[in-house]
A and B are shown apart, each in its own frame.
Chain A
Amino acid sequence: MNRKIKVKNGMQALVSLLMAFVVSGILMAICGYQPFLIFGAIISGAFGSNSAIVQTMIQATPLIFSGLAYIFASKAGMFNLGMEGQIYMGGIAAAAIGGMNLGLPAPVHIGLTLCAGMIAGGLFGALAGVMKACFGANEVISTLMLNFVAINLTSYLVNYPLKAPGPVAQTQNVMPSAMLPKLSAHSQLSAAILLAVFTAFAVRYFLGRTAKGFDITVTGSNRKAAQTAGVRIRRILILAMFVSGAIAGIGGACHITGVDRRFVDGFSAGYGFDGIAVAALASNRPLMVLVSSIIFGALRAGALRLNMTTNLPTDFISVIQALVVIFVAAPMLVEDLKSSGYKLAGRLTGRRKEAKEQ
C-alpha cells in the first residue's frame, strides 16, 4: 500500500516534469524558437561529453544539499525558504575558516571548514526556528527576509573586511589544506558530491528509522497530536530548522571548498531557491533528491554551455523549475491538463486522418 502511494507520487512528479517541459516548449515555440533544438542543445550540453557530465554533477551537488534542506524542514511542517541565505552563511564561514593558515593536516582542516559552514548555516536556520517556535513568526516571511540579510551581510564582508586585493569582491583563496579533494586528477569534480550522496542517505535514515526522526515527522503531520504524544514541539521546530540550515550551510561550504575555492560576492546564483523545485520533484523523499538534482543540475549545466556558445535564452530552465513546483503541488491540475492534452492530440490526429482520407 505504502509502496503504491510512493509509486503514485513518483509518477505524479514525473508527469509534472514532463508537463513543465511541454508548457515551456510551447512557450519557446511561441517566442519563435525551436523547442527541440534548445532541449537538444541542453541535453548534449549536460551529457554530451565527459566534461559535460562532470559539469552536471558539479551543478547537481549544491542542489542535493538544498533539496535535502528543504525536505528536512518540511517534514517538520516548516517552509524553509531561507536556504539561499543559509548557503551564503555556510559559504562565508567556510571561506573564513578555510582561509586561515592553521597549520592543520588536510583532513582536519577540511572537517573544521565544513563544520564551520554547517554551524553557520544551522544557526541561521535555527534563528527562524526560534522565531517560529517561541514567537509564532511566520517562517515563510522570516526565512525570506533573512536571505536578504545574509546576502547583504556576506556582500559587506567580502567588499570590506575580508576582501582580497584586486578589483573583484571576493575573499582570499582557501588554504590548500582546506580544499576538498578532487575525485580524479583531470576533472573538476570534488568529493563534495560523495558527501551530498551520503547526506541524502543519512537524512533518509534519520527521518525514517530513528525516534527523533519520528518526532519530527509526527510534528510535521499533526502538531497537536505530536504535542499530546509528549513531543516538545518548540525544540523539534528549532532542531528541524537547525538541521535544515546546517545541510544548506554544508552545501555552501562545499561549493566554496570544492568548486570556487574562495567566496565570491553573490556566488550562489539561486541554488537555495532551486532546492524548492528539487524537493518538489523528489516528492519530498530524500533519496529521490539525488535523481531530481541531477535532472535540474543537467538543465543548469546545459544552459551554462548554451549561454557560452549561443545567445539562446536560458531562463527557460527557471520557468521549468517554477512550473514543476506548481504542477507537483497541483495533481488535479495535471490530470486536467493531461486529459485536455489527449483530447487535443486526438482531435489533431483525427483531423490528420480525415485529411489523409480526402
Chain B
Amino acid sequence: MNIETIWISTIRMSIPLTLAATGSIFCERAGIISLVLEGMMLSGAFAAVCGSYYTGSALAGVLCGILAGTLIGLLHGILSLRYKVNQVISGVGLNLLVTAVTTLSMQLLWGNRGNSPQVQGIPHFTGVLSGQSVMTFITLALTAGAWFVMMKTRYGLRLRLTGESPEAAQTLGLPVQKLKYSGVLVCGAFCGLAGAYLSLDHLNLFVREMTAGRGYIAYVVAIFGRYHPVGALLGALFFGFFDAFQISLQGKGLPPQLFVVLPYVVTILIITFAVKNIRQPDGLGKL
C-alpha cells in the first residue's frame, strides 16, 4: 500500500461526497429533509454522460448533470412544499424514480441496461499538478463559496432563519417558499455536479445505480460536518479515506465483498455513535 496513492484516491473519493454534502447543507438549513441526494446524484451522473455523448464535450456533460440534479431538486421542492408530501417519502420515491428512469433510458438509448458507452471525460491537469482533476479545485472553491454565502450574506442569514423557524420568517415578511425552493435547488445543482464527477471524471461512462448509496453517505457527512461546509469537506475526506482504503485492498486476492462494505459500515457506525448530539435545524421537515 502506497500512502501517496491512498491520499490521491482519498481526494478523488471525497469530491462527490463534499459536493453532495454541501448541497445537503443548503437543503437542510432551509428546513427540507434531503434524503433525495442519491437520486439527484444519479440523475446528474446519467445526464452528464448523455450530454457528453451527444455533444462530445465534457463541459456540456457537466452542465447537463447540474441541470438534471436541479430538476430533481425542483421536483422534491414541488412535492414537499406545494403538495406537502412527507419529505422522507418524497425523497425516497424520487430516488426510486431516478433509478428506474436512468435504467430505462440506458436500455432505450443504448440497448444496454448495465452501462453506457464511454464518453469524453473531465480533463485532468498535466505538469506540476499532474493527475489532479480540475474538479478538485472547483470543489474547494465551491466549498469556500458555500461557506461565504451561508454565513456572510443576507441570503444565508435569511435561509438559516427560514430553516430554523419558518413561522418566524413568515411573520418577518420573508418569502419563505422562495427561500426554501432556493435551498433545494442549490442542493440539486451541487448533487448534479457530484454525479457528473462520478461518471465523467474517471470511468467516463454511466453504470446502473453507480452512486451506490453515496447520496445517503453524503447525507450523513452533512450531519457529521455539523451542517457547515468546511465540516462537510473534512467529513467527506474522512469517508473518502475509507473508500480509498477499501479500493486499495482490491485485486489482492482477498474476497472483495468483505471490504467493499467498509464505507457502509463506517456510515452505520457514524450515524449510530457519532452524531447523537448534533443538532438538526429546528424547522426541519416543517412547512
Contact = CB atoms under 8 A, between A and B. Distances in A.
Judged by CB atoms under 8 Å, the answer to whether A and B touch is yes
Contact of A135 (B103, B104, B276): B276
**Chain A's interface: helix, strand, loop or mixed, by majority?**
helix
A148 interface: yes
A138 interface: yes
A156 B255 contact: yes
Interface stretch (B6-14, B53-61, B93-101): B93-101
B100 A321 contact: yes
A318 interface: yes
A332 B268 CA distance: 35
Contact of A145 (B82, B83, B101, B268): B268
Interface of A: 31, 79, 81, 131, 135-138, 140-142, 144-146, 148-149, 152-153, 155-156, 159-160, 273, 276-277, 311, 313, 315-316, 318-319, 321-323, 325-326, 329-330, 332-333, 336
Contacts of A156: 255, 257-258
20 contacts: A137-B271, A140-B92, A140-B216, A141-B219, A141-B220, A144-B216, A145-B216, A145-B271, A148-B213, A149-B265, A149-B268, A152-B260, A318-B104, A319-B97, A319-B100, A321-B96, A322-B97, A325-B92, A326-B89, A333-B79
B249 interface: no
A316 B35 CA distance: 24
B86 A322 contact: no
B100 A141 contact: no
A311 B110 CA distance: 12
A135 B272 contact: yes
8 closest A-B pairs by beta carbon, nearest first, are: A318-B100, A315-B104, A322-B97, A156-B257, A322-B96, A326-B93, A325-B93, A152-B257
B18 interface: no
Dominant SS at the B interface?
helix
Nearest to B102: A315
Contact of A325 (B89, B257, B273): B89
Nearest to A326: B93
A140 B79 CA distance: 19
A142 B245 CA distance: 22
A140 B83 contact: no
Contacts of B212: 148
Nearest to A157: B257
B264 A330 contact: no
Contacts of B265: 145, 149
A160 B255 contact: yes
Given A140-B92, A159-B257, A315 B100 contact: yes
Interface in B223-271: 255, 257-258, 260-261, 264-265, 267-268, 271
Contact of A140 (B88, B255, B261, B273): B88
A156 B103 CA distance: 26
A322 B93 contact: yes
A137 B267 CA distance: 11
B64 to A, nearest CB: 19
Interface string B34-50: 01000000000000000
